Chain A
């Protein structure tokens, strides 16, 4: 079972939900937490995992052998990202723009292009007590998060482990890469106009991918009730509410997971999981998805 934890707006509590859900379940079942927020991975702050290994994440970029190159310009012509250019008797490559599609190398008539690895990040794995843990980190100054996210997801266990994915904020390609293939996506939001606006965008994203979703409403107490109204209108279940509580905020600031700081909250996360399992089960039995 794959559960992703996302939100349009940042800072609504994805990390809080992902870490506490994972920790609550890991006492009795096999659970693995994948931190796919590779631009700003924070789950490790709360889990303090023992890192068992790491591997560079690279993409393949072209390397031109000028001895073989006839400056025909084919590579520049086929590159959709303008990552190669031919000027007279010079070939220039711009590795930062390259998406690593491999077209230039394959299509070069002189076989003058080979591919070499360029590191854009790292993937690390380990565990925090019984909880399996994988995270990706995009290198500072690098633009492309999706290849790092893809690599993190390759480390997901293929057996009956419950996989929980912490997703980056937003609605664009890194989010899609992270939530693709999930059985359910939890959308964490807060009861404000910002929370509502970005929740609606996140809902559109998961619907486009055909993924079931449920809402976690965080910091209930200030704000308005428009998110509840929206969820009712759109028939999206609110699976958990978390109150606005300075104690929760202070625990968070010190890097303490909610279920570690307030052990009583564990039952809420176990209930959340039961509701998720029920939705996934229902969906798998209904003929149309």
Chain B
């Protein structure tokens, strides 16, 4: 079983469009939406929810006003500025519990925190594991870990060959959690200076965690000079460019219709994504034999 995670560094480069299309193209796979902050993949796959599960993670401090003697030690020691006027600001509290350990009157207790939900759903493209982190919650990395663990479990039980996961933007906690131990990272970028800058950083994260990376340049014709520069930089770093997808309003139209792009259009954009998957498949199956 091989896990392909789609990342980008910069947001909005087309990760979900690519994953939606791979959902329709790849056979025998489980889909995972690891963008637990702002999940969108379900908007393309019309999932039927099979299971909803609560995600309990971390703790939040709670002050019992009756036992509090107002000494102020908790406020003085809290490094997250989460205690003001002997009240906990639940959004700022990182759940370290320092205050609860030092309170001389034992007025502070730690309460378990319900931080979101994760789901297993059926789609006509195969099973989908997705999640929704509660608003303004922490621990997105842990929720991503749950999503991946469930996807792997389903893939092993059902004898699926691939896990295709839609990753979050950025390079921080949820990205690291989506990436570590994956078989391959497909990095979707665009030929803008911002996209290039961000690609460089996410490539660094892939190297740091030892995950092989390939690049897809989306909207490549928006700035062909930048596209050539991305290609030459990738070449010099030994990173393969497996796809060059042109800009086309048909992509937005397919999103509005709520269907994977490759099922909505059979134009250039679709042919290019199909070609990219053929190239990826060759690399993945060759890699499997060695």
Contact = CB atoms under 8 A, between A and B. Distances in A.
Nearest to B35: A170
Given A11-B10, A40-B9, A101-B94, A192 B59 contact: no
Given A9-B12, A42-B10, A78-B101, A170 B176 contact: no
Contacts of B137: 172-173
Contacts of B16: 194
Contacts of A100: 79
Interface stretch (A65-73, A138-146, A260-268): A138-146
Nearest to B96: A101
B95 interface: yes
A252 to B, nearest CB: 6
A171 B37 contact: yes
A172 B223 contact: no
A138 B98 contact: no
Contact of B40 (A9, A208, A246): A9
A208 B205 CA distance: 32
Contacts of A9: 11-12, 38, 40
Nearest to A59: B79
A141 B205 contact: yes
Contact of A168 (B170, B190, B193, B194): B170
Contact of B102 (A106, A205, A249): A106
Interface stretch (B64-72, B155-163, B248-256, B271-279): B248-256
Given A40-B9, A172-B133, A172-B137, A253 B91 contact: no
Interface string A21-63: 0000000000000000001101001000000000000000000
Contacts of B247: 249
B171 A39 contact: yes
Given A141-B204, A170-B38, A194-B16, A80 B135 contact: no
Contacts of B176: 141, 143
A8 interface: yes
Contact of B172 (A81, A174, A204, A223): A174
B101 A173 contact: no
A142 B172 contact: yes
B71 to A, nearest CB: 15
Contact of A12 (B12, B168, B222): B12
A192 B20 CA distance: 15
Between B9, B137, B193, the greatest number of chain A beta carbons within 10 A of the residue's beta carbon is seen for B193
A144 B191 CA distance: 28
Given A10-B11, A138-B171, A169-B37, 4 more contacts: A101-B98, A145-B172, A169-B11, A193-B255
7 A-B pairs with the lowest CB-CB distances in the bound complex, closest first: A10-B11, A11-B12, A101-B96, A170-B37, A39-B170, A255-B193, A103-B98
Interface of B: 8-13, 16, 37-38, 40, 43, 58-59, 77, 79-80, 91-92, 94-98, 101-102, 133, 135-138, 140-141, 168-176, 190-195, 197-198, 201, 204-205, 208-209, 222-223, 226, 247, 249, 252-253, 255-256, 258
